[in-house]
Amino acid sequence: MIVFGYPLEIIYLYGFIVATILTVIYIFFGDIFESIFSFGGGSTSVITLLLSFFAMLCGFSYIGEYLFSLSSIVIFSISFAVSFIGVFAMKILILKPIAEAEQNTVQRMDEFIGCRGEVIITIPKEGLGEVLISSQFGSNAIPAQSIGKKDILQGTEVMIEGVQDGILLVQNIAYSLKKPKL
């Protein structure tokens, strides 16, 4: 079949090449484009899915036109269905879990209340020090302040009693009345 003076296979091939290049560029520079032009909503952008769909549609259509002697409309319809299923599967099985994994590594400061930590920079009675907290995601060094009016020396185990303005309120574990979280 001839469209705009070109065989349909050539149009599909050029469409596949252009869509693939645009998809790769968007994957690398999509955050920049989204921030400049203020579009994109959520963890997986619609543009990523559309470019992927167009690349798959052109690729499957090109292969179908090249290999099979079916009608071009039938080949396009089959390619459309396969591309739709492929992009849907990519969204559900790849992009969504990746986006959720990024969000799951963030911890709120309130989650540290009741946990144990180790003082890595001595906490003076009226100043700030630093406490190392270990979790399943790694270790965090967070600024801390003593609740009691005593210095807490480096290497001391402490209990996190609260959070105030992003600073942990800690107490020496020997003086704490709370049962620590494991």
Q: What is the pLDDT of residues 126-135, one digit of tens each?
A: 889 999 988 7
Per-residue pLDDT of the chain (182 residues; tens, 9 = 90+): 677 777 888 888 899 999 999 888 887 887 777 777 665 555 567 778 888 899 999 999 999 988 888 888 999 999 999 999 999 998 888 877 777 765 554 567 777 888 889 999 998 988 899 999 887 767 888 899 988 778 888 888 998 888 888 888 898 887 655 555 55
Ordered domains of the chain (ranges, CATH) = 2-104 (no CATH), 109-172 (2.40.50.140)
Q: Helix 46-67 to helix 72-90 angle, to the nearest 10 degrees?
A: 140
Long-range contacts formed by 16-19: CB under 8 A, 24+ apart: 16/55, 16/58, 16/59, 16/62, 19/51, 19/54, 19/55, 19/58
Report the predicted TM-score, pTM, of the whole model to 2 decimal places: 0.53
